[in-house]
Amino acid sequence: MTTSPILTMENVTRLHTDGPRTIAALDNVSLSVAPGELVAVMGPSGSGKSTLLNVAGTLDTPNHGHIIINGRDTAGLSRTERAAIRRRDVGFVFQHYNLVPTLTVAENVALPLELDNVPRREARAAALAALEGIDQADLADRFPAEISGGQAQRVAIARALVGERSLLLADEPTGALDTTTAESVMALLRSRIDAGAAGLLVTHEPRFAAYADRTVWLRDGQLVQPHAGSDAR
Ligand SMILES: Nc1ncnc2c1ncn2[C@@H]1O[C@H](COP(=O)(O)OP(=O)(O)O)[C@@H](O)[C@H]1O
Ligand SMILES: [Mg+2]
C-alpha cells in the first residue's frame, strides 16, 4: 500500500536580493515527507534550513516551484487560504516557544483553534486532550512564567498538533534546552510522528537527527549528499 505524502516540495527556489546580488536561499529543492515520517534537515548556518521550513509551512512563498500540503498545491492560493492551511494543517515549533504570557497553558494550546473559529468550549476540550496526550494536563491552568523551559517546549508541541494538524515543522526546537530535557522533547516529537503526523526537524546535533527516519543536507540552498570525511559527525 502506498500512502500519499503530507508534504511535497517540487523544484522550490526562494530568492532574496541583497543590494545588487541575488541569493538563492533555496535552490531547486525537491522533497517529500510521508505520514509517520520525520526528516532531519542539517547544514551550516545560512544554508537555507529556516527558509526551507518557512516555505514548507507557507509562512514564506517560493519564487519558483510548488508546495503541496495534503494534496493541495498552495501556489495560487490567496493569503487568506494560505493562512487557513497554516492553522489547520501545519504546526510550527521554534527554538523560542512563543507562548503568549498573558494566557494560560490551555489557552495557549487552544489559541490556533479559536483563531479558526472553533467554539471556545470545544477548543478548550481539544487543548486539554492535546495536553493529556503529552502527559502535561496538570499544567493546563498555569501561566508560561510558572513552568520550566522544557515544559514550555512540550506545550509548544501540543499547540503545534492541536486539532487535525498533520505537518509538524520544528526549527531547532531543543536549542535552548539541557540535554535530558531535549531528549524528552525529541521523544515526544517522535511519538507524535509515529501517531501519523509528518515532520521536518532542523537540528545541528547528530544525536537529535538520529530521531529522524532520514537526514537531508543543505548547502547554499541546495540539497546535497554528505561526502565521506565531512565534519558532520
Ligand atoms: N529575509 C531575508 N532577506 C534577505 N536574505 C535572507 C532573508 N532570509 C534569509 N536570507 C538569506 O538566505 C540564506 C539562508 O538563510 P536561512 O534560511 O536563515 O539559513 P539557516 O536557517 O540555514 O541558517 C542566508 O544567506 C540568509 O542570509
Ligand atoms: Mg535557521
One DSSP character per residue, 1-38 reads -----SEEEEEEEEEEEETTEEEEEEEEEEEEE-TT-E
Nearest-5° angle of CA 62, CA 68, CA 71? Answer: 165
Mean pLDDT over 151-178 rounds to 87
pLDDT of 174: 87
Q: Is 151 in the pocket of ligand 1 (CB under 6 A)?
A: no
Nearest-5° angle of CA 131, CA 126, CA 182? Answer: 25
pLDDT of 63: 96
Q: Which ligand is nearest to the CA of 171?
A: 2
**47 CB-near residues (< 8 Å, 6+ apart):** 218, 219, 220, 221
Q: What is the pLDDT of residues 205-232, one digit of tens each?
A: 999 999 999 999 999 999 998 765 445 4
Q: How far apart are CA 137 and CA 220, in angstroms?
A: 43
pLDDT of 1: 55
Q: Is 22 in the pocket of ligand 1 (CB under 6 A)?
A: no
Q: Is 153 in the pocket of ligand 1 (CB under 6 A)?
A: no
Closest protein CA for atom 12 of ligand 1:
25
3-class SS at 66? strand
Mean pLDDT (the chain, rounded): 91
User: For residues 43 and 3, which has the higher predicted lDDT (pLDDT)?
Assistant: 43
Centroid of ligand 2 to alpha carbon of 203 (angstroms): 9
Q: What is the pLDDT of residues 65-120, one digit of tens each?
A: 999 999 999 998 999 999 889 888 999 988 777 889 999 999 999 998 888 888 99
pLDDT of 178: 85
Q: Is 50 in the pocket of ligand 1 (CB under 6 A)?
A: yes
pLDDT of 116: 81
Q: Is 14 in the pocket of ligand 1 (CB under 6 A)?
A: no
pLDDT of 233: 45
User: For residues 194 and 134, which has the higher predicted lDDT (pLDDT)?
Assistant: 194
Q: How far apart are CA 179 and CA 90, in angstroms?
A: 27
H or E segment at 90? strand 90-94
Most ligand 1 atoms within 8 A of CB, residue of 27, 50, 204 to mutate: 50
| 225 DSSP assignment | P
Most ligand 1 atoms within 8 A of CB, residue of 12, 13, 14, 16 to mutate: 16
Among 227, 219, 230, 203, CA closest to 39: 203
Q: How far apart are CA 173 and CA 184, in angstroms?
A: 12
Centroid of ligand 1 to alpha carbon of 26 (angstroms): 9
pLDDT of 232: 47
Mean pLDDT over 34-48 rounds to 97
Q: Which atom of ligand 1 is found nearest the CA of 202?
A: 21
Share of the chain above pLDDT 70, in %: 96
Instruction: Tell me if the pTM is above 0.85.
Output: yes
Most ligand 1 atoms within 8 A of CB, residue of 13, 51, 204 to mutate: 51
